[in-house]
Structure 1
Amino acid sequence: MSILDRLLGRHAQTETRAATIENPTVPVSADNFMEFFGVDVGPLPSVSIDQALQVPAFASAVLFLSRSLANLPLHAYRETKDGAERLGGKVQKTLNEAPNAEWTSFSLRRYFWQQVFTVGRGLIWVEELGGSQFALWPLDAAKTTVARRNGKKTYTYEGKTYPADEVIDVPFMLRDDQLRVRGPVKLANDPLSVARAMARYAGGYFRGGGVPPLALTTGPLPAGADAMQRALRDQHGAIKAAVATGSHVFPVAPGYDLKEVGYDPSKGLLVDGWRFVIEEIARVLNMPPVFVGDLTHGTFTNTEQQDLHLVKHLLAQWAKALEEEVNLKVFKRSRTGRYAEHNLDAVTRGLLKDRIEAFARGIQTGQIMPDEARALENRPPDKSGAGAKLYIQGATVPLGAQPAKTTTKGGADDPGNPDQQPDA
């Protein structure tokens, strides 16, 4: 003990220091270190279909794909010795116009594809009406149980069981048991959950007038609890009044300061996060982001090429899946040369100038007949019958088959013509 301590009557105190600064009550493992600071590092919550459709990018993708595929004409054909012949009558009307007494072909197929890109499976019951007549009825895939009984697949909907050969089934992605499916909502659960979290954050931010979280601090002199509460109430009132009046300026209690402790959307990379979510949703559905409304990589020069990419790598594949199901379930395995096929020409038509030039080139090279070109433009055939023939330019002939020149007396090719004599 020092002399000063003895004079002041102080008692000796023993200083105790901890061997380590670690607090045993605070977890410092990699798993829960961030949780100590209030950051949730657990799995993202599961997103339902209704919640997923509240994300504008996903809803836009589902609407675009379902409408585009439903808009494709679906025709029935029969193979003949002269080539494919389009079927008419009730088969054509059922497939491409009115599948039953309640649904149009467009509305039924739009609902069907909406189920594929949300639930993960589209189902249509083929009702046999006798002979070659049939009707198509949509089933709610979310309420349909798919099972295998005695080795055969069955579909149970609203208490009725249908065999597999009566149900058109196009899954988004089959699971290992070949019965259940993986839908795009489940596959894109994390991006959709992030999108919903960003929407909630942005909504809360702008709902509060665009003011980030603030901290009210005192000046050089400390303030008591009651004074701090009064200052908080005054500050809340000032901010609310500024928001209500649209003012960008509000007073601060004397002797206090406001400091920002939150992040505004620009610092939180909200815009970049939204763009990333759009790209992830487009990636799950395998579609170009430009068709989900993201024009970051879309220009006037590559628009037509993106249309071709959409048809080649997306629409054509899903159209093929539905065609084969229709062929198997409607026309059966022994379909006697009958089959269904979508017409993709309407999507890849391009500009009028490009179409006319392509038709002219095809007609002049003998690849298509004029009536066939007119049919592609929904125009009637030539009544004279000349449009039902193949043509080729007269100047284009096989090598060595050029016609011999014919001369006429006194003509330009006549050697006796004085105009053909050389000058003296």
Structure 2
Amino acid sequence: MNIFQRIFKPKEQRDFTQRDADGWRDIIGSATGAGVQVTPRTALGIPAALRAVTLLSGAVASLPLKVYRKTEDGREPAIENQVYKLLHQAPNTLITPFIFKELAMNHLLLHGNFYAYIDWQHGKPAALWLLDPAAVTVDRDKDTGRISYKISTIKGQQILTPEEVLHILGTTLDGVKGISPITLARESIGGAIAELNHGQSFFKNGANLSGVLQHPGHLGPEAAETLRQSWRDKYSGSGNAGKVAVLEEGMTFQPVTLSNKDSQWLESRQVSVLDVARIFGVPPALLGHLEKASYSSQDAQNLEFLTHSLRPWLSRIEQACNRSLMTHNNLYCEFTTGDLLRTTLDRRYEAYRTALAAGFMSVNEVRQLENLPAVNGGDELYRPLNMGLLGEEENNGEGNQSVTSDP
């Protein structure tokens, strides 16, 4: 029985009783000036934040993470390597690579750190098991600078070495432990939660006809209360929106416009979407804020998303995996991002024609990108007839010179 089986039996895997300060903060939240507690769960109650997290985690999870071997001619997929199988096929017996990468991003975005126990067997990583970030404490020895990981379980704390943990850091201020975006921007997140709570209270208690009743006569306290209660029962609440009111006894209905305060609330909701976009580094248009969207094409939007939103996270994951999982210097892992930049059919085929004509792609390489089988003779690279090395001599009508036959 290995160390993981000893300290993380299935029934005990989620029974954490001891936590460090950051772990408890993830559960009970941090107080904000808006008077609300900000936790990963409460932050996900903001629609824009939920969309940002699912967008980033889903995008990263959908990208293949492969292991390559350096060769004299460049590189080749190391499909027989154990790490390739873990990252591309199955990290363990319970989850798929998609779920593994999705959880990694969720932990990074909501907790600032991702931890996985590396189950080494015969000098090779045999499995990657997720650890609850709220149950992990990272310590650095003051004398040696060496890092250790304390894992809190129902039986107490267990110590793991850096060689046993795949640790991916988010934004960090000390290089030891990451900090989540919602922790760094908890005041803005707290304000967005408070605005959402205000809106729920407004629509729950407000009369949706947005006006006042005027009676020509004088109503006693009991009559006024009866009218008020009847009006509230029929027209108050979101379920009664749009109903037609029937007025009697000469009563009139005076519609009122939205107050400046409520107008500012609606505007603040839009500002909250922009704040969330800034916090998570996501283009506002991808969160549904299309007011100032100025992309010339879907390709431009995808390129910005890959370059500014995804690339930093992909680099963090790649480098952490290279450091913790690779046993040879000629091996490295890398995300395949080509699918994210796939354009329309016409543009893609035009790019292929250019690549084939320029001689830097073969027919089979193009077919591989389109998930088509290779063909005989498809690995040859072609060079245009009118191109050659400077000073190269013509080769008897071959190469750069066209061949003609006598009449």
Q: Is the 8 A contact 2:211 2:253 kept in 1?
A: no
Establish whether residue 193 from structure 1 lines up as the match of residue 197 from structure 2: no
| Alignment-derived partner of residue 8 in structure 1 | none
**Partner of residue 361 from structure 1, selected from 344, 354, 358:** 354
1:88 corresponds to which of 55, 74, 79: 79
For 1:405 and 1:55, how far apart are their aligned partners in 2? Answer: 67
Quote the residue 1:35 is aligned against.
Answer: none
Q: How does 1:260-275 map to 2 (within 5 A)?
A: 264=259, 267-275=262-270
Give the deviation of 1:369 after TM superposition.
Answer: 1.7
For 1:230 and 1:57, locate their aligned partners in 2 and report how far apart those are by CA, in whole Å: 46
Quote the residue 1:206 is aligned against. Answer: 203
2:330 is matched by which residue type in structure 1? Answer: G
Greater shift in the superposed pair: 138-147 or 178-187: 178-187
Q: 1:265 to 1:372 in 2, by over 3 A?
A: farther
Deviations 1:51-83 (A, max 9, x none): 111111101111111111011101111112122
- What's the counterpart of residue 147 of structure 2? 153
**Matching residue of 2:380:** 389
Cα deviation for residue 323 of structure 1 reads 0.7
Which digits, 9 at most, give the CA deviation of each residue in 1:194-228, with x for residues without a partner? Answer: 332332232233223326697x9999x9x9xxx76
**Residues 133-152 of structure 1 deviation map (CA, whole Å, 9 limit, x = unaligned):** 42111111122111123521
Shift of residue 326 of structure 1? 0.6
Distance 2:88 2:248 in 1: 68
Alignment of 1:60-99 (within 5 A): 60-89=51-80, 90-99=82-91
Q: Which amino acid aligns with 2:173?
A: R
Partner of 1:118: 110
Preserved CA contact (<8 Å) 2:52 2:277: yes
Output one character per residue of 1:288-342: Cα deviation in whole Å (capped at 9) or x when no partner: 012222222346743220100111112122111111111110015xx23111111
Query: With structure 1 as the length reference, what TM-score do the two structures score?
Result: 0.74
User: In structure 2, what is the Cα distance between the partners aligned to 1:406 and 1:299?
Assistant: 52
User: In structure 2, do the counterparts of structure 1 residues 108 and 399 end up closer, same or farther at CA, with 3 Å as the change threshold?
Assistant: closer
Code of the aligned partner of 2:308: H
Q: Are the aligned partners of 1:188 and 1:280 in contact in 2 as well (CA < 8 Å)?
A: no
SS of corresponding position for 1:201: helix
* TM-score normalised by length of structure 2: 0.77
- 5 Å-filtered alignment, 1:177-326, equals 178-207=175-204, 208-210=206-208, 229-243=221-235, 246-250=243-247, 264=259, 267-298=262-293, 301-326=296-321
Change (3 A) 1:195 1:168: same
Work out whether residues 172 and 181 of structure 1, in 8 Å CA contact, stay in contact via their aligned partners in 2. yes
Counterpart in 2 of 1:135? 127
Shift of 1:234: 2.9
Q: Runs of 5+ in structure 2 lacking a partner?
A: 1-31
2-structure distance, mates of 1:257, 1:104:
61
Deviation of the 1:370 alpha carbon: 1.6
Query: Structure 2 vs 1, CA of residues 378 and 160 (structure 1 numbering), >3 Å: closer, same or farther?
Result: farther
Contact 2:34-2:190 within 8 A present in 1 as well: no
Distance 1:267 1:374, change over 3 A: same
Return closer, same or farther for 1:265/1:182 CA change in 2, 3 Å cut-off: farther
Partners of 1:175 and 1:163 lie apart in 2 by 22
* Structure 1 segments unaligned to the other structure (5+ residues): 1-40, 412-424
d(CA) in 2 for partners of 1:407 and 1:238?
A: 98
Query: Where does residue 162 of structure 1 map in the other structure?
Result: 160
Deviation at 1:253, TM superposition (A): 10
Post-superposition CA distance 1:251-288 (Å, at most 9, x none): 6998x99997x965884233322211111101011110
Residues 113 and 177, structure 2, Cα contact 8 Å, conserved in 1? no
3-state SS of paired residue (1:268): helix
Q: Any idea what the Cα deviations from partners look like across 1:331-368, whole Å, max 9, x if unmatched?
A: 15xx2311111101111121122121112211111112
Counterpart of 1:18? none
- SS state of the match for residue 336, structure 1? coil
Q: How far does the alpha carbon of each residue in 1:130-187 deviate from its partner, in whole angstroms, 9 at most, with x for none?
A: 14342111111122111123521112223322112332222222134x4343211123
Identity over aligned pairs, percent:
24
Q: Which amino acid aligns with 2:196?
A: A
* Counterpart in the other structure of 2:171: 173
Q: Give the direction of change, closer, same or farther, for the CA distance of 1:274–1:94 in structure 2 (3 Å limit).
A: same
Aligned residue for 1:147, secondary structure, equals: strand
Question: Is the contact made by 1:117 and 1:172 (CA closer than 8 Å) also made in structure 2?
Answer: yes
Residue type at the aligned position of 1:184: P
Does 2:364 match 1:378? no
* Paired AA for residue 304 in structure 1: D
Please give the alpha-carbon distance, in whole angstroms, between the structure 2 residues aligned to 1:179 and 1:408.
74
For the residue of structure 2 that corresponds to 1:145, the secondary structure is: strand
Greater C-alpha Rg? 1
Q: 1:275 to 1:302 in 2, by over 3 A?
A: farther
Distance in 1 (CA, whole Å) between partners of 2:381 and 2:323 is: 36
Structure 1 residues 196 and 228: CA distance shift in structure 2, 3 A = farther
- Offset from partner CA, 1:9-51 (integer Å, 9 cap, x none): xxxxxxxxxxxxxxxxxxxxxxxxxxxxxxxx95543312111
Q: What is the rounded CA distance, in whole Å, between the counterparts of 1:155 and 1:406 in structure 2?
A: 72
Moved more, 318-327 or 373-382: 373-382
Distance in 2, Cα, partners of 1:124 & 1:264: 52
1:405-416 superposed matches below 5 A: 411=407
Do the aligned partners of residues 232 and 346 (structure 1) sit closer, same or farther apart at CA in structure 2, a change above 3 Å counting? same
